[in-house]
């Protein structure tokens, strides 16, 4: 059974006239008759009865017409779906993101995606930079919104936000807790808690770069996996941790009842940029559509 035979049969069923059906299909009547015969032979039933006065469907033909239309419609939908997927108009997109991106990138970008590409399903995953880049590498993420950009040729990137400040995090009883800001050089005499570099390479490197700029060495006494663990640790030990300003604000550091306080750093002010990162050999067309939606947003400095 061939697809063209189904189309020919449906046309015969609609016209009930071989001449008009052949004309619609741009076939000769003998060719159309031959296609019908091959279809009936493959099915083992007679679908069309005809004489010199009329053409009509047999009971089997009427039933087969219903099924044939469903098959043709299904294949047509499949073809449209494949084309739309290839063009990025439908499909799925897995996006990793960090906190600044969730506040300053995703709202407008998702709104535009929903408006312009409603058939693309976007799934969101909040992760730190390291896990996001690992997700890009193993294919579980299609796009990452992270601090800094990777240096490997396996990824491409685009800057979205710049000047996201980093702050010191201390406990309520720390002597810095009531200060509005502290020169970075004063970290020279402080025990610090820091995360592993693989969790967020750009933030880790910026902290050490700022230390080098002030000619000090950080005394890293403890390791914490995330800002929440850092907040807990500084609340019970006289150590200094680090977080982005947006994360400190979101965690309520310094608010009434909070056991940790965010203290601004200056001379220098350590800052980070937020980048969109994707695979260099990306095959999902929805990635470029999402980036177009991001590009239309008004992005810039983050000072809140």
Could you identify the residue written with the tokens 């001449």? Answer: 19
Q: Does residue 139 sit in the same domain as residue 109?
A: yes
* CATH assignment at residue 239: 3.40.190.290
Closest-CA residue to 270 (of 222, 200, 173, 174): 200
Q: Does residue 144 sit in the same domain as residue 288?
A: yes
User: What is the pLDDT confidence band of residue 80, given thresholds at 50, 70 and 90?
Assistant: confident
pLDDT reported for residue 89: 63
Average pLDDT estimate for 198-225: 95
Q: Does residue 13 sit in the same domain as residue 144?
A: no
| In the predicted structure, residue 304 carries a pLDDT above the cut 50 | no
User: What is the pLDDT confidence band of residue 151, given thresholds at 50, 70 and 90?
Assistant: confident
Identify the domain boundary among 28, 54, 86: 86
Residue 301 within any structural domain of the chain: no
Residue 300 within any structural domain of the chain: no
Q: Which residues constitute the domain of residue 70?
A: 3-86
pLDDT reported for residue 97: 97
Q: Does residue 26 sit in the same domain as residue 108?
A: no
User: For 254-284, how does the pLDDT look when each residue is reduced to its tens digit (9 = 90+)?
Assistant: 888 899 999 999 999 999 999 999 999 988 8
* CATH assignment at residue 117: 3.40.190.10
CB 50 within 8 A of CB 56: yes
The string of DSSP codes covering 180-245 is SEEEGGGGGGSEEEE--GGG-HHHHHHHHHHHHHTT---EEEEE-SSHHHHHHHHHHSS-BEEEEH
Q: Does residue 187 sit in the same domain as residue 204?
A: yes
The string over 151-182, giving b where at least 16 C-beta atoms fall within 10 Å of a residue's C-beta and e elsewhere, is: eeeebbbeebbeebbbbbbbbeebebeeeeeb
pLDDT reported for residue 297: 62
Residue 233 within any structural domain of the chain: yes
Alpha helix segments (H runs only) across the chain: 3-15, 18-25, 29-43, 59-86, 99-104, 106-116, 129-138, 201-213, 227-236, 245-250, 286-295
Q: Does residue 153 sit in the same domain as residue 283?
A: yes
Q: What values do phi and psi take at 153, rounded to 5?
A: -75, -5
Average pLDDT estimate for 177-201: 95
* CATH assignment at residue 62: 1.10.10.10
Average pLDDT estimate for 31-46: 92
Helices 29-43 and 3-15 meet at what angle, rounded to 10?
Answer: 110
Encoded tokens for 243: 């977080």
């Amino acid at each position: 059974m061939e697809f063209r035979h189904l189309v020919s049969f449906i046309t015969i069923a609609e016209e009930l006239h071989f001449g008009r059906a052949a004309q619609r299909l741009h076939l000769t009547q003998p060719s159309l008759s031959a296609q019908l015969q091959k279809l009936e032979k493959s099915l083992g039933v007679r679908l069309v009865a005809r004489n010199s006065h009329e053409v009509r469907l047999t009971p089997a033909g009427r039933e087969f017409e219903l099924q044939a239309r469903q098959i043709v419609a299904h294949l047509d939908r499949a073809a449209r779906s494949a084309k739309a997927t290839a063009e990025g108009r439908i499909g799925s997109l897995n996006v990793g993101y960090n906190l600044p991106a969730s506040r300053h990138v995703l709202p407008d970008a998702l709104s535009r995606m929903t408006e312009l590409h409603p058939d693309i399903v976007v799934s969101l995953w909040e992760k730190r930079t390291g896990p996001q880049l690992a997700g890009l590498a193993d294919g579980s993420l299609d796009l990452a919104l992270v601090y800094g950009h990777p240096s490997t040729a396996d990824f491409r990137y685009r800057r979205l936000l710049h000047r996201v400040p980093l702050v010191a995090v201390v406990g309520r009883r720390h002597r810095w807790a009531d200060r509005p800001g502290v020169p970075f050089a004063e970290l020279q005499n402080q025990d610090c808690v820091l995360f592993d570099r693989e969790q967020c390479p750009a933030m880790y490197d910026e902290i050490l770069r700022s230390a080098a700029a002030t000619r000090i060495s950080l005394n890293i006494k403890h390791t914490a996996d995330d800002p929440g663990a850092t907040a807990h640790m500084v609340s019970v030990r006289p150590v200094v941790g680090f977080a982005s300003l947006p994360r400190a604000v979101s965690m309520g550091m310094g608010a009434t009842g909070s056991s940790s306080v965010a203290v601004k750093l200056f001379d220098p002010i350590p800052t980070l940029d937020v980048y969109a990162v994707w695979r260099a050999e990306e095959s999902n067309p929805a990635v470029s559509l999402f980036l177009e939606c991001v590009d239309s947003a008004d992005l810039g400095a983050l000072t809140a």
